[in-house]
Structure 1
Amino acid sequence: MTRLLGFDYGLNKIGVAVGQTLTRSASPLTILRARHGKPDWPSLAALIEEWQPEAFVVGLPFNMDDSEVDWSPRVHRFGRQLEGRFRRPVHLVDERLTTIEARRLLREGHAGNARSPVGVDALAAALILETWLSEQDAV
């Protein structure tokens, strides 16, 4: 079994989820604050120490025309920094529509509620991680 951490990177907040390859499932974990796109590295390091993931999955935002969004270079940089700081592989996955799906799930009561402490960003991170896990079946 491989444990992974998934991330929904944003300039102000970073949703975090934990998942594993045995069940190919993920659960929302928390939301970390970011300042102007700079992650809270000490809090992130504490999560990595606690969960001991073997790899990271980071959502990469795309436009509907399959082009990357204008702030995608920041997501690539976050991925490179994760890999460099924590010496674990980083996998990027298309995160298109995950935040919309997370909001829908919360609104319909399928994943807590809109006031849940987990929040939209952590649920989006779980969806991103599950997307990557499901793609591993196809390989």
Structure 2
Amino acid sequence: MSLYLAFDFGFKRIGAAVGDEFTGSARPVPTLQSGDWPAIERLITQWSPTALIVGLPLNEDGSEQPITTAARRFAEALRQRAQLQVHLVDERYSSRAADDILRGARAGGQMSRRVRKGDRDGQAARVILEQWMAQRG
């Protein structure tokens, strides 16, 4: 069974999620501070993923934005540090989907506390990973 780690890169925070190919589902793991390579490396060591997935932020029309270049650099740094294959995934609408998931969890009673900024990042990473696994079919 293949296990994957996904990252939703941001200038302040990096959402992360882990998922497996067998179920095709993922779950968020604690959000990381951008640039905290020791924490990122601990996460990779802890889960021993087969590959890493990084969300590629694009505008609605598919064009790149300033953070796109930074996300590509982050993905390349991950590849070099972890010595694992890194897949880039179009992450358009992942934050909106994450917001919908969190709203649903609050409304359904699965989440009793207020939503924190890091919650959205982790859920976005989950959406990115589940989308990537679904596309692999």
Instruction: Pick the structure with more helix per residue.
Output: 2
The answer to whether residue 70 in structure 2 is matched with residue 74 in structure 1 is yes
Give 2:9's aligned residue: 9
Aligned residues: 133
Give 1:89's aligned residue: 85
Q: Deviations over 1:42-96 (max 9, x none)?
A: 0111111111111100000111111122221100000000000010000000100
Give 1:45's aligned residue: 41
- Distance in 1 (CA, whole Å) between partners of 2:33 and 2:67 is 18
The answer to whether residue 98 in structure 2 is matched with residue 99 in structure 1 is no
- Distance in 1 (CA, whole Å) between partners of 2:101 and 2:67 is 26
- Distance in 1 (CA, whole Å) between partners of 2:88 and 2:113 is 27
RMSD across aligned positions (CA): 1.6
Q: Which runs of 5+ in 2 are unaligned?
A: none
- Secondary structure at the aligned position of 2:66 is classed as coil
- Distance in 2 (CA, whole Å) between partners of 1:84 and 1:11 is 20
TM-score of the pair, normalised by structure 1: 0.89
- Secondary structure at the aligned position of 1:84 is classed as helix
The answer to whether residue 53 in structure 2 is matched with residue 64 in structure 1 is no
Deviates more, 1:106-115 or 1:76-85: 106-115
Q: Which runs of 5+ in 1 are unaligned?
A: none
Identity %: 40
Residue identity opposite 1:79 in structure 2: A
1:106–1:113 CA contact under 8 A, matched in 2: no
- Distance in 2 (CA, whole Å) between partners of 1:41 and 1:114 is 29
1:103–1:114 CA contact under 8 A, matched in 2: no
Q: Deviations over 1:13-64 (max 9, x none)?
A: 0000001111111111110012xxxx20001111111111111000001111
Give 1:115's aligned residue: 114
TM-score of the pair, normalised by structure 2: 0.90
- Distance in 2 (CA, whole Å) between partners of 1:114 and 1:65 is 35
Give 1:131's aligned residue: 131
- Secondary structure at the aligned position of 1:108 is classed as helix
